[in-house]
Amino acid sequence: MIKRILLSFLSGAALVLAFPPFGLGFLAWAAFIPLFFALEGAGKKRGFFLGFVFGSAFFLGTVYWVVHSMYYYGGVPFAAGVGVMLALVAYLSLYPAVFGLLISAKADTSPITRMILLPSVWVGLEYVRGYLFTGFPWVLLGYSQMNYLPVIQIADITGVWGVSFMIVLVNAALYLNVRSLLRGGSNPLKESLFALLMLTSTFGYGYLRIKQVDSDAARWRGLRVGIAQGSIDQSLKWDSSFRKETLEIYRELTLEAGRKEARLIVWPETAIPFFFEPDAVRDGEVGRILKESGSFVLTGSPSYNYNQAAGKLNYFNSAYLLSPAGEAVGRYDKMHLVPFGEYVPLKRFLPFIHKLTEGVGDFAEGPGAIPIKFEGGGIGTLICYESIFPEIARLSVRNGATVLANITNDAWFGYTSAPYQHFEMAVLRAVENRVYLLRAANTGISAVVDPVGRVRKKTALFERTDIIDDIRLRDGGLTFYTMRGDIFAYGCLALSGIFVIAGLGRLLKKPNLLCRLQNSSLQRTR
């Protein structure tokens, strides 16, 4: 059993290296092999435990930054922060634990069906994780491939889920071949050819789509943009004595972008460090910056309104499009809030935890993915954490967005891996919907991403600078993913559900899914 545990832990640790900041994405294509060996003949109970070990190793290595954020900015004692992080890791590890249980369950299906079932179960569980309890689709498997452009192009059909599917499929085929080499037996020819065909099709589609999208985008209308990264320390961000200096920093960056003829300049989330009041903004320092620059500015700012029916103030994390005259000509209110960042779930039971956002009570949700009208199209705004939810970007583009803008404040992540992970996940929103993505992050990473996922320009962490680039506004038909959404993930869920339901009636004397997979070639020769 110790050997099985070590193999499961090795798989989880290897998968950590496939994600930023390490960025060794190629490891993901083989990281599951030790886990599959550990699960071989393990049975359901052990399969669940070994999947949990794998998940614990992976999530400890990828979400450890929760301690940093809660300790330094949430007012949570270090020990309590570690406890919250471990609770989160334990919860997230339940998904690979269920994966281990299900693929160790009894199955009697054809070899190719089993090759499809393994990645379908994984994708189905990833999809559930992305939506259950408000969802936490952080470091989904497909995000490990952001550096490999041909691989991720299928996202305009399948979303990130299709990339995850391909990785698990290839892992399963490699596992069979490694097992055959180590332990003898017939070569898994049919399974290998199937995986090779799927992988070749993915790469072929990727190269074709890159060429097509580049050709289409060249005909879209151009727009010069600027992105201002103020790099305001989180401890000073809401300090009223530092407000003047904050605005002076954004003034310098904005005027520089204006001199380079940027038509639209994007500031980060809550770059305006006070509640948005239209008259005060127009007639104050922000208005003067806009008039001097002669540019439109998309900026984040906290806002509020009075809910007469409830008899209370509602607070929002908002984005405003400001004209060169200082007028607010568009607004978007964040619709998917960050647990513990913008509100505290179950606060009655967690009195020692305070949300990370300072100054006001819990934020309220905005009305939906409504683009801000601009230049005959629209800006689909994703505030912070919203960039990791594919549905929000998809609905924004379907509702008329011709460019996506992700404004965020990752200052409370510090120099951990979180800012790198957060950025990489945002990149895929451009590919899924075939639009340019502008990302303005207070302390980085800010960037311009094109519709095939190329990072045209980006900043370093905690760098005070701006980006100037010429982009193009999407024009033309919508992608399959934009129109139809997560159909691929639904299919994986359906297959997984059928597998589970069918398994409930099976007798116990059946080989498990992995054993059936590994022995399929041998059985065909008898």
Encode pLDDT of 307-335 as tens digits.
777 677 889 999 999 999 999 999 999 99
Higher pLDDT, 522 or 21: 21
Q: Percent of the chain beyond pLDDT 90?
A: 71
Higher-confidence residue of 304 and 353: namely: 304
Q: What DSSP state is assigned to residue 127?
A: H
> Looking at 188-202, 478-492, 497-511, which range is the least confident one?
497-511
Is the model more confident about 313 or about 503?
Answer: 313
Tokens of residue 135, six digits: 């969802």
Task: Give the relative orientation of helices 111-129 and 513-525 as an angle to the nearest 10 degrees.
Answer: 170
Q: In the chain, pLDDT over 70 holds for what percent of residues? A: 90
Question: What is the Cα–Cα distance from 329 to 397, expressed in whole angstroms?
Answer: 19
| Residue 340: pLDDT band with limits 50, 70, 90 | low
- Give the number of other Cβ atoms within 10 Å of residue 246's Cβ: 20
436-459 mean pLDDT: 97
Integer Cα distance of 417 and 462 in angstroms: 14
Lowest-pLDDT choice from 127-131, 273-277, 348-352, 521-525: 521-525
Query: What does the DSSP 8-state code read for residue 442?
Result: S
Phi first, then psi, for residue 228 (nearest 5°) are -105, 120
Helix (H) or strand (E) segment spanning residue 377: strand 377-383
Answer yes or no: is pLDDT of 358 > 80: no
Average pLDDT of every residue of the chain: 90
Q: Are 231 and 268 in contact (CB under 8 A)?
A: no
State the pLDDT at residue 509. Answer: 45
Residues with catalytic function = 269, 334, 384
Task: Please write the tens of the pLDDT for every residue from 168-196.
Answer: 999 999 999 998 888 877 788 889 999 99
State pLDDT tens for residues 215-228. 999 999 999 999 99
- Give which of 211, 216, 172 is closest to 192, Cα–Cα: 172
Tens of pLDDT, residue by residue over 63-110, are: 999 999 888 877 789 999 999 999 999 999 999 999 999 988 755 566
* pLDDT over 50 at 460, yes or no: yes
Can you list the domains of the chain with their CATH numbers? 2-215+483-525 (no CATH), 221-472 (3.60.110.10)
* Cis amide bond preceding 445, omega within 30: yes
Taking alpha carbons only, the member of 307, 261, 200 closest to residue 470 is: 261
Nearest CA-CA partner of 372 in 384, 383, 357, 362: 383
Name the band, by pLDDT with cuts 50, 70 and 90, for residue 342.
Answer: low
- The pLDDT of residue 72 is 84
pLDDT interval class at 526 (50, 70, 90):
very low
Q: Which amino acid is at 71?
A: Y
Place of tokens 């009655």: 348
Closest among 421, 387, 93 to 269, alpha carbons compared: 387
Instruction: For the chain, give the longest Cα–Cα distance.
Output: 85
How far apart are the C-alpha atoms of 283 and 184, rounded to whole Å? 79
Per-residue pLDDT at 210: 98
- Is the pLDDT at 506 greater than 70? The verdict is no
